[in-house]
Amino acid sequence: MKNFLTILLIIFSISDQASAQPRRDLLDPKLRDLFHEALSGELAKEHVIAITRHHRIQGSRGYRDAAHYVLGKLREYGFSEKDAYIESFKSDGKVQYQTWQSPSGWDITSAELRMAEPYDERIVGYPEIAMSVMTYSNAGDVTAELVWVGAGTSDDDYKGKDVKGKFVLATGYGGEVHRLAVLKYGAKAIVCYLDDDRAKFYPDMLQYTGMWPRTEELPKVTFGFNLTNRQGEKLKNMLLAGKNVVLHGWVKGIGLEPYFMDVVVAHIRGTEKPDEELVFSAHLDHPKESANDNASGSGAILDIARTLKELIDNGHIPKPKRSLRFLWVPEWNGTTAYIDKHVTPYSGGSDHMMFIDRKIPGIMFSHDPDYTHHTSEDTPGKVDPVELERCEMIATGTMWYLANLDWFEVRRLAKLVYTNASKALSDAFFRGDQEYVRKADSTWGMRDAPGFDNLLRQSLLFARHRLRSITPFIVVGMPDLEDAGRTISNSISEMETWLEQQFAWYVKEDRLIAESADYWTELDLRIPLRLTRGPLDFRLPESKLDSVSASWYHSKEFTLDGDMRFELVNFIDGKQTVSEIRNALSAEFHPVELNVVKRYIDDLAKVGVIKFN
């Protein structure tokens, strides 16, 4: 069982004290220059171009082809069979990895959508436009009338419309439209087109959508096509003008099939702490093209692996003290399958979320905002080799620094973390002053002392956790492990005391706040305990509740967005009460009603992913 320490933690230079001091590079400038010379954004982009030639849908044969491209390059760079290989995980739409259902395998050879009436016209075809066929479509051949249903994602969209045995035209996400139009109302197939703000400026851009069928839906899946806004609007306007539109669509190939999710793994073994690892991860999947998402990340870490291997083999740098691991994964599902097999059991938070859930600090380098995201315009021409190399430099320098910390650098790192933790506590004070004291129109009251107190206390807890996160690094390379470790631990304890003194000062300064808010007085002292590992499947708990209970999650009463739901589950550690979880969530985001948190946690218990101690 490996002890994964971190994925990516950006650290390049710091001041040794909170006050102004000359900046000092944590990474040796000579080593930084060596990395700059050896890493290549241009070579990384060549990998991007090669990867984007594959229609690499999760669980598909096209994905396997892309995985073998990566493995082949690792072999060229000198990675042995022991240090570079593929691990495969069953992917049939039925097997589950924790709460995540595996996607079905999928393979098609060709497809076409034509208009048969009022005149003959070819609309789109596969494989020349790979995203034109909704992923996880089955093979089939349908000639039928076309019916316009608007978004097509709610029952109201189908009122008064006969879609049985027909093609449905909609603007919603393919999987949601298929679930209602085909599985519930009997349509034969669906056609969806892009109709958001991007479509106004890029009418010939085609959006990537997929069926993503649930296990019980697999035998009923038909097929669907994605169109551009220009194509979709043309068909819609013909229908609104009263014309009878008939489409002929067909998909050939296997369609849904039991297959595998492949994870490409590469190692650079550490010399002193080989079981402690730092991980580079990028998801390799997505439709053909999909360059910035995420052929770019896959190409970048492949170039980082090449660079470090060459520099070590040529004697320019020593082997790292801690190990480095590289992962090319199928996003979400494949990452869950992999870390469920290899990472230490859950004991308590894009794929970095999976690691964060296991209390492994992680940072994602993101290309955002990006108008081409999940569209046919996400092509290699949008990938900048300079941006690629910048990300490579930051990632490589950070990971190498952390993999080789000595006792002196650990002490400097502790000072950096203390400085940042102290600043975060100060920022929390000023944020609280605005949110709980001075805002006259606040729904939580102008002078909410308990809310302010909660924000500061949660910030102090977070600051302490930040300091303690350094402790895994206080062993490697220390001349006297016991004494050095004790010295640094004592320093961390002193820093924690300083933070508590600052906290006390803030509270003292704000004693004028006297009024209390009823919002904080209600308590729920139950302690929830996780029964699964990893982030919850995005469809939980709604997908396993009855329709009435599930409807609450689409009402105005449910105020938790995706980030808040993710963090709420992170806070379920078997120690904190429901009220304490609400308090932590409120401090990180904004005040949350206890009854919202209670109902969400109760629903998680109903579907069997948590229990109460």
Beta bridge partners of 169: 148, 191
Supply the pLDDT for residue 344: 46
Q: Would you say residue 354 has pLDDT above 60?
A: no
User: Which range has the top average pLDDT, 95-99, 197-201, 234-238?
Assistant: 234-238
Contact 98, 336 (CB under 8 A): yes
Q: Which residue has the higher pLDDT, 272 or 23?
A: 272
**What CA–CA distance (Å, rounded) separates 541 from 230?**
37
- Taking residues 184-202, report their average pLDDT: 96
CA distance 244 to 221: 26
Give burial (CB, 10 Å; 0-12/13-18/19+) of 151: middle
pLDDT at residue 539 in the model? 86
pLDDT at site 230: 97
What does pTM read for this prediction? 0.83
Q: What angle do CA 94, 327, 390 make, to 5 degrees?
A: 135
Q: What is the pLDDT of residue 486?
A: 59
DSSP 562-599: HHHHHHHHHH-SSSS-HHHHHHHHHHHSS---HHHHHH
Q: Examine the pLDDT at 262 and tell me if it is beyond 60.
A: yes
**pLDDT for residue 517:** 46
Q: Determine what percent of the chain is predicted with pLDDT higher than 70.
A: 84
Cβ(35)–Cβ(396) under 8 Å? yes
pLDDT at position 302, please?
98
Which pLDDT score, from 0 to 100, does residue 508 have?
Answer: 59
Torsion angle defined by CA atoms of residues 560, 562, 567 and 568, in that order, rounded to the nearest 10 degrees: 40
Torsion of CA 47, 53, 58, 59, to 10 degrees: -110
Identify the pLDDT of residue 5: 40
CA 127-132-135 angle, to 5 degrees, is: 90
Residue 214 has pLDDT above 50, yes or no: yes
Give me the pLDDT at residue 426, please. 78
What is the pLDDT confidence band of residue 127, given thresholds at 50, 70 and 90? very high
pLDDT, position 1 = 33
Calpha distance 207→226 (Å, rounded): 7
CA dist., res. 466 & res. 462, Å (int): 6
User: At residue 296, does pLDDT exceed 80?
Assistant: yes
What does the pLDDT average to over 313-326? 96
pLDDT tens digit string along 434-491?
777 665 444 444 456 677 778 878 887 887 777 777 777 766 555 554 555 556 566 6
Mean pLDDT of 73-102: 95
Check: CB of residue 419 under 8 Å from CB of residue 15. yes
How remote is the C-alpha of 333 from its chain's centroid? 11
Q: Which carries the bigger pLDDT value, residue 412 or residue 207?
A: 207
Provide, rounded to the nearest whole percent, the portion of the chain with pLDDT above 90: 62
Residues 144-164 have pLDDT tens digits of 999 999 999 999 999 999 999
Within 10 angstroms of residue 552's Cβ, the number of other Cβ atoms is: 15
pLDDT the model gives residue 26: 75
Q: State the DSSP H helix or E strand holding residue 601, giving kind and residue range, or none if neither.
A: helix 594-606
**Per-residue pLDDT at 181:** 98
pLDDT surpasses 90 at 419:
no
> Which pLDDT tens digit goes with each residue over 39-62?
999 999 999 999 999 999 999 999
Mean pLDDT of the chain: 85
Pair 91, 103: CB distance under 8 Å? yes
pLDDT score recorded for residue 515: 42
Which band of pLDDT confidence, cut at 50, 70 and 90, is reported for residue 350? low
| pLDDT tens digits along 520-542 | 677 899 999 999 877 788 889 99
Mean pLDDT over residues 587-609, rounded? 94
Distance of alpha carbon 507 from alpha carbon 522, whole angstroms = 23
Specify the pLDDT at position 512.
39
Look at 1 and 380; give whichever has higher pLDDT: 380
Which pLDDT value is given to residue 281?
Answer: 92
Least confident of 157-161, 406-410, 596-600: 406-410
Write the DSSP assignment of 221-281 as a string of letters: --EEEEEBHHHHHHHHHHHHTT---EEEEEEEEEEEE-EEEEEEEEEE--SSEEEEEEEEE
Residues 359 and 348: beta-carbon distance below 8 Å: yes
Determine contact, residues 554/482, Cβ cutoff 8 Å.
Answer: no
Tell me which of 365 and 94 has the higher pLDDT.
Answer: 94
pLDDT of res. 340: 75
Does 563 have pLDDT greater than 60?
yes
**Closest listed residue to residue 531, CA positions, set 503, 569, 501:** 569
- Residue 6 is predicted with a pLDDT of 37
Helix pair angle (578-588, 449-468), 10° resolution: 90
